[in-house]
Amino acid sequence: MQQEAFARQLAAEGYDEVVTNTRPAGEVPVHNHPFAVKALVVQGDITLGVDGKHTTYGVGDVFTMAPGCMHTEQYGARGVTYVVGRKHG
């Protein structure tokens, strides 16, 4: 899915903030967000750890998370770029 089409889909689904994030290779320890997330990976990969299960998402993959979901993030050797929608409240 193209980034522009994904951004339009997010807006149609009520995501009130849409940004593109780029992260270098590395890890983020356990944390959560006070908003719902839906993201499309456009470069590199990201591994999310939720409830002891780790899932890797690559280019073209979409992932979601509910508000308050405790998780870890690990960015691949080339880092990751993703278009992410955030739904507050």
Query: Residues 40-85: pLDDT tens digits?
Result: 999 999 999 999 999 999 999 999 999 999 999 999 999 999 999 9
pLDDT of residue 89: 76
Locus of tokens 């990201």: 46
Q: How far apart are CA 44 and CA 22, in angstroms?
A: 10
- Which structure tokens are listed for 72? 């870890």
Q: CB under 8 Å to 19, separation ≥6 — which residues? A: 83, 84, 86
Q: Rounded mean pLDDT of 6-22?
A: 95
- Which structure tokens are listed for 21? 């994030």
Please say if the pLDDT value at position 1 is more than 80. Answer: no
- What length does the chain have? 89
Could you tell me the pTM of the whole model? Answer: 0.93
Compute the half-sphere exposure of residue 4: CA atoms within 13 Å on the CB side of its CA: 0
- Which structure tokens are listed for 54? 């780790």
